[in-house]
Amino acid sequence: MDEFEFARRILDIYQIDIGTYPGNYIPLDADNQDVTVAVKDARYIHFANSSSPTDIDELALCNYNKLILHNDKSAFAYFKTSMPYVITELIKDYGYTGNNDWLAFTFDYLDEIRDSEEFNRFLFSVDDQQKLVLRKKMVAKILEIHPDLLYNTFSIVEFIQRSPEQYKEPDESIAVILDAGLQHDIVGVCEMAFANKPALIKKLKSKKYYGLPTLTNYVEHYYKTPAERARQEQENSDYYLLEVSRNTKDKSIAKHGVIHDKDGFTNLRQNSNSHSARVLAKIRENEPFLYWPLEGDWWVVELQNGLRGFVHASRIKEVK
């Protein structure tokens, strides 16, 4: 490998341009507590345990150079079995996403330890202002290689919402994470995020959802607030009582009734538990109908023409 290819490889993985550094020993280890890594004489990578950086393990040194410079499979196997932290911390420290084998190994490790704070360190880098910056490519790789890891983003989104000042682009970071989760059919993270911060939806809309199509489609066409969900569940339940349930269609167990209302009429409504529900018809005084008492205050009523709906129990008088 010539010096230009060597420098390109270092830049690709460590994001360090060795051509801009003076001297013959350039640190690459990003304050790693476990290993010392540096470029030596612009021709090989120095590698040693931080506990004893001068005590060189020649086998580890050789394999590290083979791994980094040549993507050597045997070197990868060596570190997986003898020093697995070398692989995982390489991904964590530098956010390198160019090797799917290294990433798959790292994602398996994250899945095994299930540590939210550790997962956070893999998803974010730190800029010059000590702000956390989302590694969007890392999120995309998780979605591609190990999408179940995205279930861990429940806690990540909570971290961001709890301390947005620690993040460079908190709302965009949340949007990217939510979009990835939705691509794996994880809607719970969205629902939690919007429940914690309802104003987030307005912010996302104002930013046109940061150009994220899955998130855009979900919020615009599928997301419902807790109140909307409760109303829909009630409507589904009402539809079941009116159209499906055998108990509320069996006329042999129905009771006969007329209205009991000082106004001389009452409304037959489409849904229960709401005086604002759509009115289907008006039931006049002395007009007979069938009804089925329910546990709640709204009972199923069927008119003589077969139209069915709900009437408040207080408006119904049984006819023996």
In tens, the pLDDT along 141-166 reads 999 999 999 999 999 999 999 999 99
The token pair at 269 is 């409504």
SS (HEC) of 121-158: HHHEEECCCCCEEECHHHHHHHHHHCHHHHHHHHHHHH
Q: How far is residue 305 from each of residues 108, 145, 285, 288, measured CA to CA in Å?
A: 64, 60, 16, 11
Q: What tokens appear for 40 in the block?
A: 């030596």
| Chain centre to alpha carbon of residue 182 | 6
pTM > 0.85: no
Give residue-wise pLDDT tens across range 32-88.
555 677 787 767 888 876 555 556 688 998 999 999 999 999 999 999 999 999 999
For residue 305, the 8-state DSSP code is T
Buried-exposed string 82-118: b where 16+ CB fall within 10 A, e elsewhere:
ebeebbbbbbbbbbbbebeebbebbbebbeeeeeeee
Residue written as token pair 């709640």 = 296
Pairwise CA distance, residues 78 & 58, whole Å: 13
